[in-house]
Amino acid sequence: MLCDKCRNEAALFQPSSGRHLCGRHLAADIEARAKRAIRSHHWMKTGDHIAVIRTGDRKSAALLIFLKRLIAGRRDIRLSTLMAGTDKTGGCRPFAVPEDTGVSDITPAGILQQGDHGIPAHDRPTKIALAITLDDIASEVLAQFLFGNAENLIHPPRAAAGGIEIISPFIAIPSEELDCYLDVQEMETGLMSSLPRQKPLSRQEDILFQDYSHRHPATRFALLNLAEELSSGNAAGIAADVGRGKPGSEEMTMEVPGNGT
């Protein structure tokens, strides 16, 4: 199939718009939607220090690339990374920041411990960026209803440990589109080719959800809209709960520096 915008070979069919898009136009569309999410939630302002949570997967790599492109040339916003989460052996998940990205680790030696006030004030992030996708949010909302915990969606946390605001620019981006986005970046930079693709689903409700949403693509967006409505626009707080791990899945602990208060 051909791209509906430039007639080059299409990389993906986008059910939400009914369009076939090549990699370049899909990447532009994804970035436009992520920017729209940032603007609508007021997730970025002058003086921000944004820390991308690195989990060793393609989603966090894509988020780092997107944010670096977004703030390129800006001197009023700083971008760093934080290693977060442990594997089942207690070790850090491997994910090295490419040397030429211009993005630094806040803690090159390892994981920051919650409440660590030894971090210099200028190194403490003002925002924590999570690579949570539309699928993550939608499946979490569905799971909360299935298990009778819908009240958890009404007052989700607005901050991570240390009182730092949570942002999730990819909350309206389907996982398969984000995977394609990173494929485009790999072709342009060659930096991320060793990163593993998304792990197979493990929870039964996730498997059922993915099967249904593939046949009814609007389901994911409907669940996101429901999450935004129930949480008064704080879907990022629901994203934080997704990031901390779910029952039946490998736990990921989000540990961030204290705010010095």
- Residue 102's SS3 state is coil
- Structural domain includes residue 202: yes
Lookup result for tokens 């994804």? 30
- Structural domain includes residue 33: no
Residue 227 maps to which CATH number? 3.40.50.620
Contact 7, 19 (CB under 8 A): no
- Structural domain includes residue 76: yes
Domain encompassing residue 50 = 41-243
b/e burial code for range 123-146 (CB count within 10 A of at least 16 → b): bbbbbbbbbbbbbbbbbbbbbbee
Strand order of the β-sheet with 104-105 is 104-105, 78-83, 49-54, 127-129, 165-167
Phi then psi for residue 74, to 5 deg, are -95, 130
- Structural domain includes residue 15: no
Report how far Cα 204 is from the mean position of its chain's Cα atoms.
22
Structure tokens at 183: 């494929």
- Structural domain includes residue 16: no
Number of domains comprising the chain: 1
- Structural domain includes residue 4: no
Which residue intervals of 77-217 are DSSP H helices? Answer: 134-146, 175-189, 204-215
Lookup result for tokens 């389901």? 219
- Structural domain includes residue 220: yes
β-pair type (104-105, 78-83): parallel
- Structural domain includes residue 28: no
pTM of the shown model: 0.75
- pLDDT tens digits, the chain, 261 residues: what are they? 899 999 899 999 998 889 999 999 999 999 999 999 999 999 999 999 999 988 878 888 899 999 999 999 888 999 998 876 544 333 333 333 333 344 555 443 333 333 444 455 556 889 999 999 998 888 888 888 888 888 888 888 888 767 889 999 999 999 999 999 988 887 765 555 455 555 544 566 667 777 777 778 788 999 999 999 999 888 888 877 765 554 333 334 444 444 433
Helices and strands (H, E) in the chain, number of each type: 7, 7
